[in-house]
Amino acid sequence: MNLQTGEYYWPTTFSSPPSYPSLNSDEDCDVLIIGGGGSGAQCAYYLADKGLNVIVVEKEKVGCGTTSTNTALIQYMGEKLFINLVHTFGEEYISRHLQLCKQAIDEIEQASQSGGIDADFKRRDTLYFASCPEDVQKLEEEYLFLKAHQFPLDFLSEEEIGKKYPFKKPAAIYSYNDAELNPFKFAHTLFACAAEKGVKIFEQTEVNGKKFENGGATIRTKTGHTIKAKKVIIAAGYEGMEFKKEKKASFVSTYSVVTNPVSDLSAWHNQTLIWETARPYLFARTTADQRIIIGGLDEDTFYAEERDSKLMHKKEQLIHDFQKLFPSIQVQAEYYSAAFYGGTVDGLPIIGEYDEYPNTHFLFGFGDNGTVYSMILAKIIAELVVNGSSPDAELYYQHRPLLAKHSLT
Ligand SMILES: Cc1cc2nc3c(=O)[nH]c(=O)nc-3n(C[C@H](O)[C@H](O)[C@H](O)COP(=O)(O)OP(=O)(O)OC[C@H]3O[C@@H](n4cnc5c(N)ncnc54)[C@H](O)[C@@H]3O)c2cc1C
């Protein structure tokens, strides 16, 4: 799958990451994780130290997939408002999901310090502004819902926004304690931590043959070796859809730029994460070396050629839209990319379990908060593997519409 095109910033921030051998023998294991991106790393992190023989295979190098283009705003609020999710799933269901998102951010913080590589995790507040007056009411309803669930946040008027930022917007939610990180270093630190605890990681080891049976799976690699596994986790990111097409998932095209480092960010209140209610939206954050990441302007296409043909125009547009918000912070794009971006029809990520893949869990952490969702799913999948059950798995199975509106207890 042609996932993305462009110049990627994150790999340049870590010039000598740990490297791992390719597989050159046949192996047996308890758990095989396919995919060496952020979500494979999150699974390895939760499964290390559980007395299991765990293997990870990555067809290229760790972190070279979508993990390299992930803009890594670490938030619980997502593209679909919680008030809309409540309409689909009911309040009890979504309250639990919300709690799990919050917990996942705390665990991402902990995990980011696990493997001796600083993943530049930093707590940040978020400004989520109404792009037009018509969006104020739904934003206020979202604020009231989150406030009722004890989330620390404020509702800002146009005047209050104007006092903190060099722009005015009709209203905004200001939420506390989200975060940003470096997703490439994050994947590496989790794998380093897992490897230290005995997880075997193989790079340049592509799975290209598979036989799934009730007793376990036999996986073949491109280099002709086999891995027999009692359980398999497919954490191949958007390429997981090449193993099994999930009807509830779909792709759009998205764009991002990373600017030159900026010496003066004082106009940017608390270097908040910024995004908006407009669709397609614009979002922005800063990095550890004072660059600015600007992204969004999604296009409804799943053709790589069409996606890429718009890249130069989108690059200009992202910079232009950012300068309208912060005219005093003059920037140029130093890195820019176009990428596919996966979402789900109902707004929740998916744990796929399918009859033709016994003993296998598909981690589809799709959505704008993919890093947070993958952390939730990786933890649940680890519980399913180790204990045979997880109290929260039902929230995310692909067949969940049957559960919608039903009480979870
Ligand atoms: C532009 C963009 C911006 C985003 N911004 C955010 C954001 O701000 N916040 C957020 O939380 N999320 C964001 N996301 C989502 C986030 O990037 C993803 O959720 C996350 O990176 C997915 O990680 P992954 O490990 O699942 O996928 P990947 O990083 O793609 O890893 C999958 C790995 O599997 C390997 N693989 C595939 N097939 C095989 C095979 N047959 N054999 C062996 N290995 C295989 C691939 O080589 C790859 O390395 C964004 C996504 C995009 C595209």
pTM above 0.85, yes or no: yes
Ligand 1 interacting residues, C-beta cut-off 6 A: 34-40, 57-60, 64-67, 69-73, 206-207, 235-237, 239, 254, 256, 295, 339, 341, 365, 368-372, 374
Tens digit of each residue's pLDDT (9 = 90 or more) over 292-303 = 999 999 999 989
Across 385-396, average pLDDT? 97
* Residue 67 CA, ligand 1 centroid: distance in Å: 5
- By most ligand atoms within 8 Å of CB, the mutation choice from 66, 202, 307 for ligand 1 is 66
* Residue 202 CA, ligand 1 centroid: distance in Å: 18
Ligand 1 atom closest to 206 (CA): 42
Query: Mean pLDDT lowest for which of 98-107, 226-235, 399-408?
Result: 399-408
Ligand 1 atom closest to 341 (CA): 53
- By most ligand atoms within 8 Å of CB, the mutation choice from 46, 79, 371 for ligand 1 is 371
Task: Write down the pLDDT at residue 288.
Answer: 98
Confidence of residue 309 (pLDDT cuts 50, 70, 90): very high
Q: What is the dihedral of CA 110, 115, 117, 118, to 10 degrees?
A: 10
Confidence of residue 401 (pLDDT cuts 50, 70, 90): low
Ligand 1 atom closest to 363 (CA): 26
* Residue 162 CA, ligand 1 centroid: distance in Å: 36
Tens digit of each residue's pLDDT (9 = 90 or more) over 12-36 = 999 999 999 999 999 999 999 999 9
Across 219-223, average pLDDT? 95
Task: Write down the pLDDT at residue 40.
Answer: 98
Output the average pLDDT for the chain: 96
* Residue 237 CA, ligand 1 centroid: distance in Å: 5
* Residue 81 CA, ligand 1 centroid: distance in Å: 23
pLDDT above 70 coverage of the chain, percent: 98
* Residue 72 CA, ligand 1 centroid: distance in Å: 11
* Residue 65 CA, ligand 1 centroid: distance in Å: 5
Confidence of residue 214 (pLDDT cuts 50, 70, 90): confident
Say yes or no to pLDDT of 264 above 70. yes
Say yes or no to pLDDT of 404 above 60. no
Tens digit of each residue's pLDDT (9 = 90 or more) over 104-133 = 999 999 999 998 999 999 999 999 999 999
The strand pairing partners of 55, in sequence order, are 32, 200
* Residue 367 CA, ligand 1 centroid: distance in Å: 11
Going by alpha carbons, the residue nearest to atom 15 of ligand 1 is 370
Task: Write down the pLDDT at residue 406.
Answer: 44
Say yes or no to pLDDT of 11 above 50. yes
Ligand 1 atom closest to 255 (CA): 1
Going by alpha carbons, the residue nearest to atom 26 of ligand 1 is 237
* Residue 190 CA, ligand 1 centroid: distance in Å: 15
Tens digit of each residue's pLDDT (9 = 90 or more) over 59-95 = 999 999 999 999 999 999 988 999 999 999 999 999 9
